Structure 1
Amino acid sequence: MTRRITRALTTIVAASALVLTGGIAAQAVETTADTSTSFSGSLADGATWIADKPAHWNGVLVLYSHGFGPLNASDAPNAATKEALLDSGYALVGSSYSGSTMWALASATDDQFAALAAAKKVIGHPRQVLALGTSMGGLISAQEAERGNGRIDGALSTCGLLGGGVNLNNYQLDGEHAIAQLLADDPDIQLVDYADATEVQAATTALTDAVNAGQQTAEGRARIALAAALMQVPDWISGDEPPTSYTEQEAHEAAWLPGMLSFTISGRPSIEASAGGNASWNVGVDYAKLIRSSEHYAQIRTLYRQAGLNLDKDLRTLTRTADIAPDTDALKSLTATSTVTGRITVPELTMHTISDQLAPIAYENLYAKQVQRAGRASLLRQAYTQSIGHCNFTAAEIVGALNTLHTRVSTGHWPSTTARALTRAADRTGYGDSSFIDYRPPVFANARSYTPVHHRWSRS
């Protein structure tokens, strides 16, 4: 049963008051006594922040990190979830981040912690601080779990780019390289170092046209399946259940690709600008070794056999033509700002839809291994929903997961995080449905390291 939420967050009944918070100006806006108080302000580096405190605060302050997009301050994933979090007693704060590009990882964690400090001065000192992030913000929350130094008590990373910016650029490059070499009429499509929007659009159009044309033949469909596996494309885009036949899976992958190509290619210049150059590479990559780790390897082999194609020959083509090297300074910069180590210092719960077209579900496998190698596995739990789409969570799922994390921080012990237990936690919120499932994520096949002198490829 869904609880009726009546908190009118936008009803303003009192005048604004200016509060000085250690040199940071914050504007407090009063709402009705039964709702919440809103605050906003600016940080020294030009970032802005907003915060909301419910009338019946439970003492927990949620530090929210938003995803890739315009640098606007936000303290919740969306309006419905914000309303549910405030209704549950959580106070909220989040910053815009600073910088000149939407990939603002160079400043994000510092800006978030500065916003947290500012909010505490107007909201009051919380009993707990829980980090919450979505997408790129999920990566930021994971960084906060490593760098908090006592400033946060737990983290909930949802649909997080937990593989980091280097792996993000590399898996996208791998898929685009395969489309260019195996499906396009002219394989010399620019894949990195875009100078302007015209070059971005030209690459998007060329790669999308190649996919659309390839889908018309058995040979093209087999090659699309290979490119999709390299690009971590989900094999479920519609319907109540994921498809089970290889043919259906490929059709779903092909349907995902145009939108994915448009988003990822248009986003690359922001990451390159932030890093100071191209930080991705495929020079020296052995694509035959890489693809054998993919969960879709059997699908690819079957579709190639049915189409009468030689998979080994195509993989040799991809390896032979892989000639993109990174700007080593840009690679160092992106590694320093946009990755995680797994050395978390507080309890962390991650949550992912199993069909995520922008943050691969396989990232969860990679991240769990990082945390385990760092000796912090007892602090990490991972949850999954049988849902389609990036960050497609209900308010009940997010509030239920946050309540579970709150319990872990309060008691010092993890409550059950099975799908059944998380479903009960979501149901208790009264904010709608949930679709938690027990799930094991596949291997992230594209992880690798780079040796500049010899362009040597090795699996990370």
Structure 2
Amino acid sequence: MNPTLRRSCRMIVSTSAITALLVTAAASPAVLAVQPPTEASVSANAAAAPSTTAVGTLRNGAAWRAEVPAAWNGKLVLFAHGFRPGPANPAWDNGFAPTASELISRGYAVASSSYATTGWALGTAAQDQLGTLAAFEERFGDAQRVVVVGRSMGGLVTSLMAEIPDSGIDGAVSTCGLVGGGVSLNNYQLDAAYAATELLLPGRDVRLTGFTTPEQSAETIAALKSALTQAGESAAGRARLALVAALLNTPTALDGVDVDDPEALAAAQAQLVVDTLPTVIERRHTIVNAAGGDSGWTAGVDYARLLQPSAQRHVVEHMYAVAGLTLADDLSTLTANADIEPNVQGLEWMLQTSTPAGELQVPLLATHTVMDILAPVEFQEEYAETVRQAGRNSLFRQAFVDRAGHCNFTVAENIAAIEAMDQRLETGHWGSVATNSALQGAAESLKLDGAAFVEFRPDEFVNDRHWAGKS
């Protein structure tokens, strides 16, 4: 099947399905998305492939595990897991296990680490992965080729590893990565929360930053849930929900929703906001604690200018017109009252540990589902710009999967991406190996659990900014 051109205006999945995916993500943060494919969905010989298992612990307490098939082809896939709230912190990731089994059946060795800490583990995660690589090679000998693979937060870790000179890795595959970086992650979520509280809870003193415990955010979450739900009952509230949805980069391609009907689209997005915004606020304390302060800010942000390039602006404008409200007035209010400043220590830490510079040292292939609530696909637009500005675009390729959900890839899609990177390293050039059509063909030929690579261009990520200081 040849993938067809897919723009962000097409319909693909229902809001109820997306809500179910979000509930799963909240219930199982280690996976942060849908349940992974079962072992039954991969080839029968995968689970039975003979292998040697080795485990160990790095000096900082990070656990590692490796599996090496009896007929090892000399190639190692080093996997970086996503966000984990704790306390469980295993070296082996259950969400990646079906893909790992298939890789092992194909002769690859697979290794991974727990990282030294749970939560936002960017302070050590890249080095923990490299420490695992060193431990692996001490035990099994040097790998002929090392491909690092990561998902979600681990996709960011993998991208950062690809920027480390002389790291010992040869190529990288970042899947569903938070590649916009930790600062942008904090700011786009803060923009939405700030707009919701400012416009739906005027005059209320609602805390939005600096949470260090879940309990500190509980009152904010309760207030936001109530305000967001009540907003849907009036035209003015629905208009303001549309603005919040745009700032949150809420998906627009929804099954059963006519994209030419902005009111239907806004209603569907509003439900996604209600389901998503409290969840991301609930996890904010883990990033604050890791960084030693909250890196997010609104001070100095011109919200009219921020919304201007948004692909969702026309929906917002329509909803404001229906409500008889003036969008410019609300945007002016947001800009005038924006006074949240970042914690300087927290911001510096996030810039140093959690923000890609785009200075790739090895080839990197980034894959993303086209509709991702927890890591907006617009992150890929921002990351491509970062790589391009660093002058490393020749090392970079992106591919997209026509599916909803955070990290909701099939085993076949993962294997196709990893083997495309292997071919890139073998030949020394990309050729057509990482095009969406080539990846689709390769994934389908595996006869595993299907694939849906598609031509796609992500919209502008509008929430990126640089702190210039404001008192």
TM-score (structure 1 length as normaliser): 0.89
Distance in 1 between residues matched to 2:441 and 2:373, nearest whole Å: 28
1:350 aligns with 2:366: yes
1:58 aligns with 2:73: yes
Contact 2:161/2:167, CA 8 A, preserved across alignment: no
Amino acid at match of 2:107: G
1:380 aligns with 2:419: no
Please name the residue that 1:312 is paired with.
328
Alignment of 1:370-409 (within 5 A): 370-409=386-425
Please, which moves more after superposition, 171-180 or 200-209?
200-209
1:257 aligns with 2:273: yes
Please name the residue that 1:135 is paired with.
152
Give 1:45 deviation, angstroms.
0.7
Residue deviations 1:391-431, cap 9 Å, x none? 11100001001111110011001141332211011112222
1:326 aligns with 2:342: yes
Give 1:262 deviation, angstroms.
3.0
Please name the residue that 1:6 is paired with.
45
Please name the residue that 1:12 is paired with.
none
Distance in 2 between residues matched to 1:436 and 1:127, nearest whole Å: 29
Distance in 1 between residues matched to 2:74 and 2:94, nearest whole Å: 17
Alignment of 1:31-50 (within 5 A): 34-50=49-65
Please name the residue that 1:288 is paired with.
304
Amino acid at match of 1:38: T
Give 1:5 deviation, angstroms.
2.0
Amino acid at match of 1:93: A
1:392/1:241 CA distance change after superposition, 3 Å: farther
1:76/1:62 CA distance change after superposition, 3 Å: farther
Aligned-residue identity in percent: 40
Unaligned runs of 5+ in 2: 1-40
Please name the residue that 1:78 is paired with.
96
> SS in structure 2 opposite 1:235?
coil
Please name the residue that 2:189 is paired with.
172
Contact 1:185/1:210, CA 8 A, preserved across alignment: no
Distance in 1 between residues matched to 2:259 and 2:354, nearest whole Å: 34
Residue deviations 1:369-389, cap 9 Å, x none? 111111110110000011101
1:362/1:242 CA distance change after superposition, 3 Å: farther
Amino acid at match of 2:83: F
1:343/1:150 CA distance change after superposition, 3 Å: same
Please, which moves more after superposition, 187-196 or 221-230?
187-196
Contact 2:224/2:278, CA 8 A, preserved across alignment: no
Residue deviations 1:35-65, cap 9 Å, x none? 2221110000111111111233222101111
How many pairs align?
Answer: 428
Please, which moves more after superposition, 46-55 or 169-178?
46-55
Please, which moves more after superposition, 342-351 or 420-429?
420-429
Please name the residue that 1:18 is paired with.
none
Residue deviations 1:56-96, cap 9 Å, x none? 32221011110011333135743322222222222111111
2:209 counterpart (192, 209, 217): 192
Residue deviations 1:83-114, cap 9 Å, x none? 22222222111111113x51010101111000
Contact 2:42/2:411, CA 8 A, preserved across alignment: no
1:339 aligns with 2:378: no
Distance in 2 between residues matched to 1:195 and 1:129, nearest whole Å: 37
Give 1:197 deviation, angstroms.
2.5
Please name the residue that 1:120 is paired with.
137
Unaligned runs of 5+ in 1: 10-33, 456-460
Please name the residue that 2:230 is paired with.
213
Amino acid at match of 1:97: Y
Amino acid at match of 1:107: T
TM-score (structure 2 length as normaliser): 0.87
Please, which moves more after superposition, 182-191 or 275-284?
182-191
Distance in 1 between residues matched to 2:451 and 2:465, nearest whole Å: 35
Residue deviations 1:153-210, cap 9 Å, x none? 1000000001111111011000000110112365321111124322212111111211
> SS in structure 1 opposite 2:283?
helix
Contact 2:214/2:285, CA 8 A, preserved across alignment: no
